Chains A and B, each alone.
Chain A
Amino acid sequence: DAKTTQPDSMESTEGETVHLPCSHATISGNEYIYWYRQVPLQGPEYVTHGLQQNTTNSMAFLAIASDRKSSTLILPHVSLRDAAVYHCILRVFSNTGYQNFYFGKGTSLTVIP
């Protein structure tokens, strides 16, 4: 079962602010939310992560709902270089030491000049 749900695709115009949504309704208290992005012929690249509080870095702003069941990656003033597939991921821990990053299918972001 998918742990995260994202729209398949979104489109934006250069210079706009983009809001990429992700639903993770079954998230547990110790599971971190990560976002990675991926361009063709390359592996995913780290964007940001969070647990409960909103976070910001040079790449993006991550808004996490107060119940943690959803999050939104906000990309300010997008450029053509921001066109990519954006993956919303949960990092799962277990008492047995098992750990995994559960990737969703990702949202393909198209940026129009």
Chain B
Amino acid sequence: DIVMTQSPDSLAVSLGERATINCKSSQNLLYSYNNMNYLAWYQQKPGQPPKLLIYWASIRDSGVPDRFSGSGSGTDFTLTISSLQAEDAAVYYCHQYYTSPLAFGQGTRLEIE
């Protein structure tokens, strides 16, 4: 089974600064058939369901601000928020949808400093 490990568990960043969250998969998420990485990022705020931000490791979902970007391939991935806004305070999860059993990372709590 694929295990997803995020780092750090939490971080505090000042408004307007860059935030970086890492995600490591125990197995390769790059499918050679279509050259796509089956890695997604979600944002979750208190009392709300997760919101899809990024899929295929780097494609922003509709309506997601362009300050959110995803990168990486294979087993190592990064979510970057280029200029932190107050509304970005949340918990962020990476998620592998390459194969069953599906898996999520343990989450990274992002706070505004």
Query: Do A and B come together as binding partners?
Result: no
Question: Which residues of A come within 8 Å of B, CB atoms?
Answer: none
